Amino acid sequence: MSTSDEFEVLRRAVGQPPPAGVRRVRAREQLDAAIDAEVAQDRPPTRRRRGVVAATAVAVVAVAAVAYLAVGSRAPASALQELAEAARQVDPIEVPPGAFAYTRSEHVVLVGGPGDQFPGVEEELVAYLLPTTRESWIRDDGYVQLVTDTHPPAFFDPRVEAAYFEAGLDRLDGVGETVTTVFGEVTDPFPGIAWPTDRDKLEALMEELIPDEAGQPPREVQLLELAAAILRERIVEPTVRATLVEVLATLDLEVKSTDDAVTVTVTYDQGGQLRYSVTFDNEANLITETTILLDASDEPYIPAGTAIRHSAYTPPVIVPDLQPPLP
């Protein structure tokens, strides 16, 4: 449940054979998304693509994140305890037989590869951001439908943008396409785990699930990522959500709150100075994840302040069939 070094992934691409086409990679990502967390995880499995950013212009995302972090907050422990108490008051979601849990999420994947794939570009590595929107329908018998729309990329360099379209990479990426994928059976990424509703027991279990080895991000980052992984695009009992928040309240994290959201942030070094943030609504549902690159001195092709990884989620709602909920 750790965050790999996105930049080292790009470096390793130099001198290696060209990676698989991004269409194949996207299909693999969709399958992993379903298998990992009943359409929950968003961890691309190849070395070509890594990271997610909200489906808005990256500069807007970065500025918005900085602006949000400047908002005043209550004391961190107090804000998280209040959030946990609010979550415990929420009624559990009941899924009638044959009905679906529906979620909608927005992402932008950081795409990187050797510059020789881009005509006229001399740099060894290039990167751009590929936005997608995903809708998922999950039934209690494991049936899953994913509908993914791919939007036009955002580029850091106009030369890369021109070369991208000249090489026809937009067609490989499926820009402008809608892809529907159906899975007949999905395995829970945490099979057999009953999440405790006692804070100490849940924290101990989470500690067992994160790797204790060299090269991993700090403990606070891994636990925060694991909490987000448990909550992504799936129905989680309110008492479990509350207990997850109580675990986060014990960590050395920055906490900012507004009337309708709480954002938890940690800054760390992992092949570059990074800031990872998770935002919850006032019922402790996961609504955003963001990683911002603070120091780009070793990554000149990615501007400092770029939100290199971000997802925005809607809380699950129950729908009777394979249609989005009514507005």
Mean pLDDT of 171-194: 88
16 Cβ contact list (under 8 Å, min separation 6): 47, 114
297 confidence band (pLDDT: 50, 70, 90):
confident
Q: Is the pLDDT of residue 299 over 70?
A: yes
pLDDT at 76: 62
pLDDT at 75: 55
C-alpha–C-alpha distance, residues 137 and 99, integer Å: 9
Domain positions in the chain: 6-319
168, β-bridge pairs: none
Summarised one tens digit per residue, pLDDT across range 248-284 is: 999 999 999 998 999 999 999 987 899 999 999 999 9
Summarised one tens digit per residue, pLDDT across range 35-88 is: 343 333 333 322 233 332 333 333 333 333 333 333 334 456 689 999 999 999
pLDDT at 82: 96
Helical ranges in 118-218 per DSSP H:
158-166, 169-173, 199-209
The answer to whether residues 138 and 182 touch, using CB atoms and an 8 Å cutoff, is no
Percent of the chain with pLDDT over 70: 76
Q: Mean pLDDT lowest for which of 21-25, 74-78, 194-198, 246-250?
A: 21-25
Q: Which of 272, 285, 282, 274 is nearest to 312 (CA)?
A: 285
pLDDT, mean over the chain? 79
